[in-house]
Amino acid sequence: MECSVAELMAVAMSHELRDDDFAAVGAASQIPVCALRLAQKTHAPNLWYLYGGSGAVNSKSKALVESAADYRNLFGAEYRAPLMDIIDFEFSGRFTLCFFGGMQIDQYGNVNMVCIGDYEKPVVRGPGTVGTVFTSSFRRVVLYVQHHNPRLFVPKVDFLSGPGFPQDAAIERYRPKFSEGPVSVVTPLAIMDFRTPDKRMRLRSVHPGHTVEEVQSQTGFELVVDGTVPKTPEPTAEELRIIREEIDTTGVLRRLIE
């Protein structure tokens, strides 16, 4: 069945969610929001999820809205979490999974939201760290981006705002015991993970219509490739039906990524 790349990403991200998760997303998060809703409607009926900004818990709005901070996410929600709850959950490990994006992501899963270039003389000043420090304290972190190119996937981030896997035990010891750190990276081309001895990014699967060589050429560092890389499973007809009829009724994900 024909599907858009954003729909494919949403389905792949829904497979990262477990039935006992309490998940969180930040602003402008249509793909992860769709993933959460889909997981709850399929394999994870006991999933809880929270949208930052609006504080909506278990939102069931009829269409995907472009802002997670939008008040309208509270339609059909079960609770409005004030920011204090959210920050408490972030520090204490109560959130089990979070979806995060970034301006740059490096080979050890570090995330940059602050600047491109030198901090003192930035070529691009980004929005800032927001809550990305919590990539260290969510139990699992799924990174996702709507672009996949060598400017985004860099060997080393220009500013470290969201910790991945530090190659220094003296830094790693600051990670709370309950946190696994980044577990996967979902892009329009492929899915990566960190299942390597030194926690370097590994190519887990390549989306239909793309090749390992293409993904490698669009990545600014060498991806670990072990053996034959499988294709990312395509959404089932039932998953697509649920997305289009019950979650993304206005077709946002069919238009989101060119």
CA proximity to 2, closest of 246, 243, 249: 243
Q: Cβ contacts of residue 245 below 8 Å, gap of 6+? A: none
Among 42, 58, 60, 69, binds another protein (CB under 8 A): 69
> Considering only 6-14, 71-79, 214-222, 236-244, which stretch makes contact with another protein by CB under 8 A?
71-79
Chain Cα centroid distance, residue 45: 20
DSSP string, 3-72: --HHHHHHHHHHTT--TT-EEEE-SS-HHHHHHHHHHHHTT-TT-EEEETTT-EES---SS--S-TT-GG
| Torsion (CA) 78, 26, 192, 64 in degrees, nearest 10 | 60
Residues 4-63 that bind another protein (CB under 8 A): 27-28, 52-55
Between 162 and 188, name the residue whose CB sits nearer to another protein.
162
Bridge partner list, 177 = none
Among 18, 42, 58, 74, binds another protein (CB under 8 A): 74
> Considering only 87-95, 201-209, 229-237, 240-248, which stretch makes contact with another protein by CB under 8 A?
87-95
Q: How far is the CB of 165 from another protein (least distance, A)?
A: 10
| Residue 214 binds another protein (CB under 8 A) | no
Between 176 and 208, name the residue whose CB sits nearer to another protein.
176
CB contact at 8 A, 26 and 53? yes
At 246, list the tokens. 């019950």
Residues 106-165 that bind another protein (CB under 8 A): 113-114, 119, 122-134, 136-137, 159-163
Among 1, 174, 180, 238, binds another protein (CB under 8 A): 174
Between 163 and 235, name the residue whose CB sits nearer to another protein.
163
CA angle 118, 138, 134 (to 5 degrees): 30
Integer Cα distance of 148 and 17 in angstroms: 23
Residues 175-204 that bind another protein (CB under 8 A): 175-176
Among 20, 46, 63, 91, binds another protein (CB under 8 A): 91
Between 20 and 88, name the residue whose CB sits nearer to another protein.
88
Q: How far is the CB of 37 from another protein (least distance, A)?
A: 19
CA proximity to 132, closest of 84, 159, 109, 100: 100
By CB under 8 A, name the binding residues for another protein. Answer: 27-28, 52-55, 66-67, 69-72, 74, 80, 82-84, 87, 90-91, 113-114, 119, 122-134, 136-137, 159-163, 166, 171, 174-176
